[in-house]
Structure 1
Amino acid sequence: MDGRIIDVTALLETDTIVFRGGATMTIPFAEMFSVEASSGWLELKTPRGLLLLELGPKAEVWRERIKNPKSVVEKLGLSETKKVCVVGKLDADLRANIEASGAKVAKTARGKDFDVVFVAANVKKDLEKLPAIKETIVPDGAIWIVYPKATASGVKVDPELTERAVLTAGRTLTLTDNKQVKIDEDLTAVRFVIPVAYRKKK
């Protein structure tokens, strides 16, 4: 980094690269002036200076993901083949994106065998719906809990609705959290799935 060689762990997130170890920082894709890959090296020109990451074959993959980030719909794994249910009052823009994906969105929260269930958690008490919701998904289905960040603007955030509270609610039901997506500046979504060992055939 700007002439210095630093041993770091770089994590490619949905819209940022997170550095840990010898240097701790987060660089959003939007702040990168240029992104190039050559001979296993990823070159990033950023406000913090020139960064060269030795990634091997992954350099080209990272370049593509940074220059062409996935849409929210792609991040959430939605498609025309998915049967989807929405529980609670979901953000209007997110709901519109879900419906625009072509997924089969149920008109009510009743039913079973859903591939994906979105839960709008606006207060901690909303997490109490999870046990019943777990019973509505297919064995390899997913539950996305969408909740406001502590820094969300224009809304009153329940101080008890923290990331820890969300993760605990899912893990208590023997669900595994395996993905987190930034919906926008105010909302985060965490995906829970049933561990393979606990999936029952239907």
Structure 2
Amino acid sequence: MAEGKALLESQELIFRASDLRLKIAFQQMNSVEAKDGWLRIRYPDGRVALELGAQAPKWAEKILHPKSLIDKLGVKAGMRISLVGLGDGDFRWELAARSPDVVEGKAAANSDMIFLRADGAKDLDRMRTLQKSIKPNGAIWVVYPKGQKHITEAGVFAAGKQAGLVDVKVASFSSTHTALKFVIPVDRR
């Protein structure tokens, strides 16, 4: 038995103790059960039981029924979505299933959300112009590659701030890309 910290990520459970590190992907879990404040998991390398109290059933639900990417990104039915430089076919298909109003290749006026693929500083410079195409309570999601020296999280944050936007959320877009959500500050809406 070890005492430590458990983290529930979007696709894996992580446990860290002074002498133990454990990372279990949801897809590796054979069974998940929440009972009496305990979360019990069976996986190929063994079993783990975490005392989580009232959080145990919530964690079990998140593990057994993880949110889809578009749910994590907050896409709702009927939203107007613009894709700028983002040609991911699976993502486009998921969006079209949720909302018929998806515009590709440019930012449509009165967009609820714009997804901007950013591979470098030049792409980030577009944020100031793109915000003119979102509704006052809309958002710009900047999707950029993970672990690159030429485009970093700090650089994306700085570009958003320079464009007059505020960051409100970060999400794993894929195994290779991260997404940062920017909105117009409340006092400018």
Q: Evaluate the alpha carbon distance shift between residue 179 and residue 110 of structure 1 in structure 2; reply closer, same or farther with a 3 A threshold.
A: closer
Q: Distance in 2 between matches of 1:50 and 1:60?
A: 18
> How far 1:195 sits from its partner (Å)?
4.2
What are the within-5 Å matches in structure 2 for residues 94-113 of structure 1?
A: 94-106=91-103, 109-113=106-110
Task: Give the one of 110, 127, 130 matched to 2:127.
Answer: 130
Q: Evaluate the alpha carbon distance shift between residue 103 and residue 171 of structure 1 in structure 2; reply closer, same or farther with a 3 A threshold.
A: farther
More moved, 160-169 vs 17-26: 17-26
Q: Distance in 1 between matches of 2:12 and 2:185?
A: 28
Q: Evaluate the alpha carbon distance shift between residue 62 and residue 80 of structure 1 in structure 2; reply closer, same or farther with a 3 A threshold.
A: same
Matched, 1:159 2:163: no
RMSD over aligned Cα atoms = 2.5
CA contact (8 A) 1:176 1:195 kept: no
TM-score (norm. length: structure 2): 0.83
Unaligned ranges ≥5, structure 2: none
CA contact (8 A) 2:4 2:15 kept: no
The code of the aligned residue for 1:191 comes to: K
> How far 1:112 sits from its partner (Å)?
2.9
Task: Name the counterpart of 1:170.
Answer: 160
Q: Distance in 2 between matches of 1:140 and 1:160?
A: 30
The code of the aligned residue for 2:11 comes to: D
Amino-acid identity (%): 36
Q: Evaluate the alpha carbon distance shift between residue 47 and residue 162 of structure 1 in structure 2; reply closer, same or farther with a 3 A threshold.
A: farther
Question: What secondary structure is seen at the aligned counterpart in 1 of 2:125?
Answer: helix
Could you give the per-residue CA deviations for residues 94-134 of structure 1, whole angstroms, max 9, x where no partner exists?
22222222241135624432111100112332111111122
What are the within-5 Å matches in structure 2 for residues 1-202 of structure 1?
A: 4-8=1-5, 10-19=6-15, 22=18, 25-46=22-43, 49-106=46-103, 109-150=106-147, 159-172=149-162, 173-183=164-174, 185-196=175-186, 198-200=187-189
Q: Distance in 2 between matches of 1:63 and 1:146?
A: 29
Q: Evaluate the alpha carbon distance shift between residue 24 and residue 143 of structure 1 in structure 2; reply closer, same or farther with a 3 A threshold.
A: farther
Q: Distance in 2 between matches of 1:13 and 1:38?
A: 21
The code of the aligned residue for 1:168 comes to: A
Unaligned ranges ≥5, structure 1: 151-157
